[in-house]
């Protein structure tokens, strides 16, 4: 394992940029485990490959894959996608991967958070998770980026930043005793500020109804740019998601960001409810310690779970009754980018979506005042 930096990113002048800022690449990991992905992960692999190709047209993609799947993965993906061998336990690069940071001198480093598979032995989604735990340091090694080892459990999908000092997360996830039971709310905020180069926290309450990650913010809300938040919103008052979205909207409208701005909230439709079919459930292998998949269970479908690439926004197609409406809203939020939908049901069946399986590398840029 590579050496770690001894100070904190904030002390060294590093910050996590907003995801809507320019990228120089994107990492994804190849799905394989049959107790999370139906039919030996073959349909999920096709869906991941489609996402990788869609993003690669905008941001160069690197795919992490096991030795066992290397040749197959290499043969499926375009030659311009880099394929590297890394052992993983599953395929959620957002959560096990590093959080990349930049400074204003053209530097790029990364945070390697502790990972416990979304709750460890108290509600976590599988055991063991030691290969996932080592992924962030390997990615940073390959990217030639120095590493900060954070003293807390955190998944990348549980935070969003505006790149200008504001962090957004849910209480359901970050304050869950299955992540950092020894840390108070204030200590968690402080650790986030030190590792993301931020100074203002916006706490939302619960994440999307039934989210097996304990309510990651990346299914509920994200920054489209500083001052503008996209929020998944269920209009149907009888849907349990309605109260969750309404509460999030209220909190966002009452908040100001790190620069003192009020936030504009843009609603994205809530698809579905989307549920798992008998055929889909029966294709997943049962295994001790893995989350069972049952016919009729509601899936955590959300259009907020998109990837904002440099020239295209890649978003999940989830419900043909509202896919086009979601695309229109995203086009209005990102008028300079193409908005490209990719069929994402197979990723959703595994418990997440396009944002959860990706990890952007921000472009490193020296600001002119530093370079003179």
Does 95 contact ligand KQY by CB under 6 A? yes
Query: Which of residues 83 and 291 has its CB atom nearest to ligand KQY in the complex?
Result: 291
What minimum distance in Å lies between the beta carbon of 211 and ligand KQY?
A: 7
Q: Which of residues 140-199 bind ligand KQY (CB under 6 A)?
A: 157
| The binder of ligand KQY chosen from 119, 269, 350, 362 (CB under 6 A) | 350
| The binder of ligand KQY chosen from 65, 196, 258, 356 (CB under 6 A) | 356
Does 36 contact ligand KQY by CB under 6 A? yes
What minimum distance in Å lies between the beta carbon of 312 and ligand KQY?
A: 21
> DSSP letters of 281-329?
HHTSPP-TTSPP--TTPBP---TT--EE-SSEEEEEE--TTTHHHHHHH
Would you tell me how many other CB atoms lie within 10 Å of the CB of residue 206? 20
What minimum distance in Å lies between the beta carbon of 143 and ligand KQY?
A: 21
Nearest CA among 97, 96, 252, 102 for reference residue 163: 102
Query: Which of residues 10 and 281 has its CB atom nearest to ligand KQY in the complex?
Result: 281
Is 356 considered catalytic here?
Answer: yes
Helices (H), the chain: 42-56, 67-76, 93-96, 130-133, 135-143, 171-174, 185-196, 240-254, 278-282, 323-333, 345-349, 368-371
Interface pattern 53-92 for ligand KQY (x via CB under 6 A): ---------------------------------------x
Does 215 contact ligand KQY by CB under 6 A? no
Which of 26, 173, 222, 356 is labelled catalytic? 356
**Contact assessment for residue 201 and residue 184, using Cβ atoms and an 8 Å cutoff:** no
> CA-CA distance, 220 to 241, in Å (whole number)?
10
Q: Which of residues 273-292 bind ligand KQY (CB under 6 A)?
A: 291
Does 318 contact ligand KQY by CB under 6 A? no
Query: Which of residues 25 and 157 has its CB atom nearest to ligand KQY in the complex?
Result: 157
> CA-CA distance, 237 to 256, in Å (whole number)?
27
Tokens (6 digits) for 79: 């030659």
Catalytic residues: 356
């Amino acid at each position: 394992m590579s050496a770690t930096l001894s100070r904190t990113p904030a002390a060294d002048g590093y910050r996590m940029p907003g995801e809507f800022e320019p990228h120089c690449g994107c990492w994804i990991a190849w799905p394989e485990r049959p107790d999370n992905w139906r039919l030996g992960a073959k349909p999920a692999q096709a869906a991941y490959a489609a996402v990788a190709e869609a993003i690669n047209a905008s941001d160069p993609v690197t795919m992490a894959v096991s030795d066992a799947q290397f040749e197959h993965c290499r043969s499926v993906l375009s030659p311009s996608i880099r394929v590297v061998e890394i052992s993983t336990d599953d395929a959620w690069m957002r959560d096990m991967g590093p959080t990349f940071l930049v400074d204003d001198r053209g530097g790029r480093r990364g945070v390697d958070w502790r990972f416990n598979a979304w709750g460890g032995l108290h509600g976590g989604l599988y055991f063991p998770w030691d290969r996932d735990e080592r992924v962030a340091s390997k990615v940073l090694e390959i990217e030639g980026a120095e590493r900060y080892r954070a003293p807390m459990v955190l998944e990348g999908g549980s935070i969003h930043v505006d790149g200008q000092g504001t962090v957004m997360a849910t209480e359901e996830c970050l304050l869950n005793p299955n992540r950092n039971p020894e840390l108070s709310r204030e200590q968690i905020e402080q650790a986030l500020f030190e590792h993301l180069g931020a100074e203002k926290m916006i706490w939302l309450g619960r994440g999307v109804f039934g989210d097996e990650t304990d309510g990651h913010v990346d299914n509920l809300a994200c920054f489209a740019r500083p001052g503008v938040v996209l929020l998944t919103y269920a209009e149907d008052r009888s849907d349990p998601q309605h109260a969750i979205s309404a509460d999030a909207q209220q909190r966002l409208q009452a908040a100001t960001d790190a620069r003192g701005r009020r936030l504009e909230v843009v609603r994205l439709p809530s698809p579905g409810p989307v549920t798992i079919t008998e055929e889909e459930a029966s294709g997943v292998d049962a295994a001790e310690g893995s989350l069972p998949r049952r016919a009729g269970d509601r899936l955590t479908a959300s259009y907020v779970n998109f990837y904002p690439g440099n020239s295209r926004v890649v978003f999940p197609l989830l419900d043909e009754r509202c896919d086009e409406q979601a695309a229109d809203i995203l086009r209005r939020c990102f008028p300079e980018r193409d908005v490209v939908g990719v069929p994402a049901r197979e990723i959703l069946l595994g418990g997440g979506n396009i944002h959860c399986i990706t990890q952007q590398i921000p472009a490193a840029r020296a600001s002119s005042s530093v370079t003179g």
